[in-house]
Chain A
Amino acid sequence: MKTLLLWRSFLKNNFIPVMIAIALLTVASYLIVGFYGRYKFQSYARDTVAAGFDPNGVYFAPEAEKFKYFTEDAAYKPILSHKACASIFGNAESHYAVVDGAEVHVYRTGRELLRSFTPVIAEGRWLSPSAESTEAVVSGINCKPGERITLSPGEEATVVGVIDPEKLIVPRFNSYGGKTDCSYLFSPASGAVAFVTSKEQPDLQFSNYYVVFDKNAGEEDIAALEEFLSENGSFTRYAELIENSNENVRDWLSRALPLPLFLTAVATLTVICISIVVIKRGMNEYSKYYIIGCTRAKAVSISAAPLVLLSVIPLVFNLVCVLAAPTIYYTAGKATAIIGVNCVVPVAIYTVFVASILFITPFAFYAKSSPLEIYRRNL
């Protein structure tokens, strides 16, 4: 109780600097979580393409105006009619459903898509292309493999796998740019998601497509298909997608990372300086406790312990934000980061680092000095 009262008195006397320090630590932690989530998305999108997509293919973005003589939904059909085209897949048909009282984003995945897009499964297995009955792989729902869920009145699916929510991305073949990389093909997802496949295959949506070339097709046939694709839109080859992604991650690390590192370094140094000043200013009082018989550990803990305990606040704040409002870490309102509890790990390491410095500092002040020496030094 006495210690608690002394902590309270310490915080009361140093309310403003302690608040500045906590606010700076919180903002620095927010930056760390956001940037780690963005890095995870960039690298995981690249790994997903590298692991599952056929290297003998291209990512094609049709120009809607050039396809106007077809209905939009059938835009992929002229591509499929080419000799060199083995298969084509695009966005999964998606809708919302209520499963066990929770709103779930359901993606109806075609066979071609699920062969290429293979997310990391935490439990069970990924959807089978040859499934006879309706299968589902879920994330964010409290379901185990083998359980049955109701997708719509009269439609049930058997859960065959659970996706690791820390690595949940969904196909979103909507973007195309000057330097298209793997992150253009996916979007991070949060909340409850279910990938579903059934015997009846859904029609391809009008979107961008991944066109897989036939391995046995001749060079002329491939050239003809590529010419058709470039006449009706733009395309990026698999190798270019991977190379652009690698370049993007490298570029991102060298260009985008220095800024949060700088801001975090500024915040950390400022916090440490403020804390040392706060501790040093309070030492005159604590040296009196030391001189009248209080142990060194207790005298130190009066100033160090509240600071160390309060340095956990930013970690808790970020943990709550990650669980309750992950969208606050997105860039300009766009989902650009995979935000999960894992993202808080670097913040935990950062907090331990800052807390250790705050804890060690007062001991360093008191080291190898008698109580009287300390008292004199702080007169």
Chain B
Amino acid sequence: MKTLYLIFAGVKAFVTRSVFLFAVICVGIITDSLMFTYMYGLIRQTNDSEQGFFGTDAALALTMLLIYLLCVLAFLYLMVSVYSEIAHELNVYAILGASKRRIVAVVGGMMFVILAVLSAVAQVIHALLYAPLFSKLNVDEGFSYGFGDYFAIFLITLFSMYCFVFAFVYIKTSDTSLANYRNTSK
């Protein structure tokens, strides 16, 4: 219960401390999530065709793949910057006696909440703007995203990204409390 309270209090503190920075990170993560949704749809569309993903225009497909990979890296960087913003406060708790397990749980929980909310918002934005905007990007005119697709993209984004983020948090908090405190001091 205390951990849950710390997670939500931490998220609230992060949001209110720097609304502008939070907004920027949100825009970045939502934009990258929209790219993931588009790539998922594109792979589904081209899987059904004879030519496959690289069949129609290999150069464009490679470019898209490159942008996708760079978006993944950018997404991870933005999540790491979220960690940087919240880590210092939690390391103060660690110095005051909070166990490492609790710190990892709180930081991991906060990242999970932020990631889940932003991924869900991205799917909602995609669904709302699908008819006027995103449907124009389809290769197969008859293709449309169903609830199952959005849910699958949400889960894939959430868990694949969270694995990296959690591993990063775990490594970053593996040092002693004092060293972590010093590392996250500005």
- Interface residues of chain A, those whose CB is within 8 Å of chain B, are 16-17, 20, 23-24, 27-28, 30-31, 34, 254-255, 258-259, 262-263, 265-267, 269-270, 273-274, 276-277, 280-281, 284-285, 328, 330-332, 378-379
Contact = CB atoms under 8 A, between A and B. Distances in A.
Contact of A266 (B35, B56, B81, B136): B35
Interface string B56-69: 11111001101100
Contacts of A276: 21, 24
Given A30-B63, A259-B137, A263-B64, A24 B74 contact: yes
A277 B81 contact: yes
Given A27-B66, A266-B67, A274 B28 contact: yes
A263 B67 contact: yes
B78 A274 contact: yes
Nearest to A276: B24
Nearest 10 pairs of A and B residues by beta carbon: A273-B28, A258-B136, A284-B186, A269-B31, A270-B74, A276-B24, A277-B81, A266-B35, A24-B70, A20-B73
Contacts of B78: 273-274, 277
B152 interface: no
Contacts of B59: 34, 328, 330-332
Contacts of A254: 136
A331 B78 CA distance: 34
A331 B57 contact: yes
A376 B140 CA distance: 54
**Most chain A beta carbons < 10 A, residue from B32, B58, B66:** B66
Interface in B65-112: 66-67, 70-71, 73-74, 77-78, 81, 84
A258 B60 CA distance: 13
Contacts of B167: none
Contact of A273 (B31, B64, B70): B31
B27 interface: yes
B31 A266 contact: yes
B181 interface: no
A27 B78 CA distance: 20
Contacts of B137: 258-259, 262
Q: Which of B27, B58, B59, B78 has the largest count of A CB atoms less than 10 A from its CB?
A: B59
A273 B60 contact: no
A277 B21 contact: yes
Contacts of A269: 27-28, 31
Contacts of A285: 186
Interface of B: 18, 21, 24-25, 27-28, 31-32, 34-35, 38, 56-60, 63-64, 66-67, 70-71, 73-74, 77-78, 81, 84, 133, 136-137, 186
A20 B58 contact: no
A273 B38 contact: no
A114 B111 CA distance: 68
A285 B60 CA distance: 41
Contacts of B70: 20, 23-24, 27, 267, 270
Contact of A280 (B21, B31, B58, B133): B21
A113 to B, nearest CB: 32
B24 A332 contact: no
Nearest to B75: A270
Given A270-B31, A332-B57, A31 B81 contact: no
Given A27-B63, A265-B31, A269-B31, 6 more contacts: A16-B73, A17-B74, A24-B67, A258-B133, A266-B71, A281-B84
Best-surrounded residue of B60, B64, B84, B137 (most CB of chain A within 10 A): B60
A371 to B, nearest CB: 16
Contact of B81 (A20, A259, A281): A281
B136 A332 contact: no
Contacts of B58: 332
A277 B25 contact: yes
Nearest to A16: B77
Nearest to A266: B35
Contacts of B81: 277, 281
Given A23-B70, A331-B59, A274 B77 contact: yes
Nearest to A330: B59
B63 A31 contact: yes
A277 B24 contact: yes
A266 B32 contact: yes
Contacts of B186: 284-285, 378-379
A169 B94 CA distance: 70
A347 to B, nearest CB: 15
Nearest to B30: A269
Contacts of A20: 70, 73-74, 77
B157 to A, nearest CB: 15
A270 B34 contact: no
A257 to B, nearest CB: 9
Given A277-B21, A281-B81, A270 B28 contact: yes
A259 B67 CA distance: 12
A150 B24 CA distance: 63
Contacts of B66: 23, 27
Nearest to A267: B67
A328 B84 CA distance: 40
